[in-house]
Amino acid sequence: MKTKIIKINLNEIDRKKIEQAAKILKKGGIVAFPTETVYGLGAILDEEAIKKIFEAKGRPADNPLIVHIASLENLEELVEDVPEKARKLMEAFWAGPLTLVLKNKSVPEIVTAGLDSVAVRMPSNKIALELIKKTGPIAAPSANSSGKPSPTRAEHVIDDLNGKIDAVMDAGPVEIGLESTVISFLDEPVILRPGKISKEDIERIIGPVKLHPAVLGEKVDKPASPGMKYRHYSPKAQVILANKKFGEILNKLNSEKKKIEVIYLENVEEGTRELFHKFREADKKGAEVILVKAVEEKGLGLAVMNRLKKAASRIEE
């Protein structure tokens, strides 16, 4: 299969290009598209189409997908009753980088991996919204090969999936660079995956919410989110995460003449956008070690540390 590259400008959206992508999707094809968080790999809610996503990514079948919508009308068709607090979060943060896990009503089993819940989000990226308006709800995981970091540029999608997907819409680097916050409303609200919409942001709207222990890197026997049990990024290089000992470890690695890449996010808000890109670049350069400086675990920093802990094989003070 030849993967079409559809260049598109976020600030001046060419309707013909949206049409082109929508047409492929409606015929049951799979198309990577930009969202504000990371690039997604989309299909309409059709079993045959969605199978292609799992195949292209090499994604385990027990890991469910997020359904992306463009309006609240879409939502009513997909899920059972929406709790009051969930409704409030949608009002506050949609369209935007927040995913809610709710009771499934009509979403095919292949999307939910057989769970009786479904994860839904309304992205704010205008290309994504225009596309969904044309096709109806789109199921989409991040558009990387399973186990690789989420793609934050179309080039990353091509590196992983060229020849395996019908098309990629290339709108340049994304805005946020980390996947959406996932919060479950099946019981009392609990954050399953931290993201740009922070725990603090959420609590300002609905009061105290729990953090799932896996968010902080604790081992869990029964993952609340199937994605929790998969290692997210296993580069050839060893990833070391350090805070106090950062300088000491750096000196030691240098004296051992290791090929190292250092990732130091001076400003978390700014640096997050390039984090996954830096991971990929380090791999391309053939680094033996990626040494990352830890950041404070609050706000967006909690989300950054969650991803770093998943990637690291060695965590130091």
Chain residues binding ligand TXA by CB under 6 A are: 35, 37-38, 40, 63-66, 97, 99, 101, 112, 115, 117-119, 123, 140-142, 179-180, 182, 192, 225-227
Least distance from ligand TXA to the Cβ atom of residue 291, Å:
26
> Which DSSP string do the residues of 274-294 spell out, in sequence order?
HHHHHHHHHHHTT-SEEEEE-
- Identify residue 263 by its one-letter amino acid code: I
Min separation Cβ 143 and ligand TXA, Å: 7
In 3D space, the residue among 94, 92, 86, 119 whose CA is nearest the CA of residue 188 turns out to be 86
Cβ closest to ligand TXA, residue 24 vs residue 65: 65
Site size toward Mg ion, by CB under 5 A: 1
User: How far is CA 249 from each of CA 256, 263, 267, 295, 316, rounded to the nearest angstrom?
Assistant: 11, 13, 22, 16, 9
Give least dist CB 142 to Mg ion, A: 3
39/36 Cα distance (integer angstroms): 8
- By C-beta, is 194 or 235 nearer to ligand TXA? 194
Binding partner of residue 181 among Mg ion, ligand TXA, none, CB cut-off 5 to 8 Å per kind? none
35, 74, 112, 142: which one contacts Mg ion (CB under 5 A)? 142
DSSP-based three-state secondary structure for 222: coil
Can you tell me whether residue 265 is helix, strand or coil?
coil
CA distance 197 to 99: 10
Query: 28 is written with which tokens?
Result: 């049951």
Comparison of 100 and 287: residue with beta carbon closer to ligand TXA: 100
How far does CA 43 lie from the centroid of its chain? 16
Q: Pick the closer one to ligand TXA by CB: 190 or 291.
A: 190
| Distance between first and last Cα of the chain | 47
Which CB, 228 or 242, lies closer to Mg ion?
A: 228
Q: Residue of minimal CB distance from Mg ion?
A: 142
Name the minimum Å distance from CB 302 to Mg ion. 18
DSSP 113: T
Provide, rounded to whole angstroms, the least separation between the CB of residue 193 and ligand TXA. 6
Binding residues (CB under 5 A) for Mg ion: these are: 142
